[in-house]
Amino acid sequence: MDARLNFFAGPTVGKALKHIMAAGKVIKDSPLPAATQELVALRVSQINGCAVCLDMHTKEAAAAGETSVRLNLVAAWREATVYTEAERAALELAEQTTRMTDGAAIRVTDEVWANAAKHFDEEQLTALVLHISFMNMANRMNAVTQQPAGDYVPGQFH
């Protein structure tokens, strides 16, 4: 499969991606636990059908020591016993945020927000919201342009 657009060619995309990647680094370096970041990236990418992000974040998480069991169960995290309560709160917030336009009357419920706030301090919660939003943006850019997946090498964009 060939991508519809080359995100590494052209002056406009080059300028924009410089800032997008810088924003991603700020989030990555935030106090939000790295494992939580990768699990959330995977779940958001699963919902949005972004193969290239699934490829990238699965490999990055594995390279950082994440287990295959936890990676493989993200899609069914509610029934899985391998996640902490904080990770479960982050995954629920990620799902509700990502599915905001699916016709739900309430976008992110007070209960889900309160549960996330119980597990993360304000700085971490801010980073979590930014990370979920960032992943949704990246997913949409990659999915609409059909960026191919499978060739990502951990650390490729660091």
Judge whether 48 lies within some domain. yes
Under the banding of pLDDT at 50, 70 and 90, the label for residue 65 is: very high
Judge whether 149 lies within some domain. no
- Structural domain including 83 reads 11-144
Under the banding of pLDDT at 50, 70 and 90, the label for residue 99 is: very high
Check residue 5 and give its pLDDT. 83
Under the banding of pLDDT at 50, 70 and 90, the label for residue 98 is: very high
Task: Report how far apart the first and last C-alpha atoms of the chain are (Å, whole number).
Answer: 25
Judge whether 151 lies within some domain. no
Specify the CATH number for the domain of residue 90: 1.20.1290.10
Judge whether 154 lies within some domain. no
Judge whether 157 lies within some domain. no
Q: What is the b/e burial string over 5-16, where b = at least 16 CB atoms within 10 angstroms of the residue's CB?
A: eeeeeeeeeeee
What is the percent of the chain with per-residue pLDDT over 70, rounded to a whole number? Answer: 97
Q: What is the mean pLDDT of residues 97-116?
A: 86
Q: What is the mean pLDDT of residues 67-80?
A: 97
Which tens digit of pLDDT belongs to each residue from 118-144?
999 999 999 999 999 999 999 999 999
Work out how many domains the chain is built from and give that number: 1
Check residue 7 and give its pLDDT. 78
Which tens digit of pLDDT belongs to each residue from 3-23?
888 877 888 988 898 899 999
Length reported for the chain? 158
Judge whether 123 lies within some domain. yes
pLDDT above 90 for 60: yes
